[in-house]
Amino acid sequence: MSTFLRQVVFIGANLLLFVGLRYVALLMGFLGGMGAADHYQYESVLYLPGTALQLLVLGLLYTRSVRYPSAYPYGLALVSLLLLVVLCQLRLIPYEVIPS
């Protein structure tokens, strides 16, 4: 498999894992007794375990692909994006700052 195709699969798998972890974290919060009104109050805390797991998986997958020098820009872009998500979840960067 070519390096570019490997990176596309890598990015796609990380995005699917990221979205899946978000839905599982939200479902666990609601099953644990969190009400709809509590969702906004505890949203940043609720998503932190999933985001930490995503960063761990991203780090493991990136270290496996580090032997390919062309993988560095993709890996750094993904790490910076995930770092931005973590900072937003901790409310250190407000969502309004990031253009949508």
CA 66 to chain CA mean position, Å: 20
Identity at 40, one-letter amino acid code: Y
Identity at 22, one-letter amino acid code: R
Q: List, for residues 16-72, the tens digit of each pLDDT value.
A: 777 777 777 777 777 777 776 666 666 666 777 777 777 777 777 766 666 666 666
DSSP secondary-structure letter at 11? H
The structure tokens listed for 77 are 């872009």
Q: List, for residues 11-25, the tens digit of each pLDDT value.
A: 777 777 777 777 777
The residues spanned by each domain of the chain are: 3-97
The radius of gyration of the chain's CA atoms, rounded to the nearest angstrom, is: 15
Q: Is 98 helix (H, G, I), strand (E, B) or coil?
A: coil
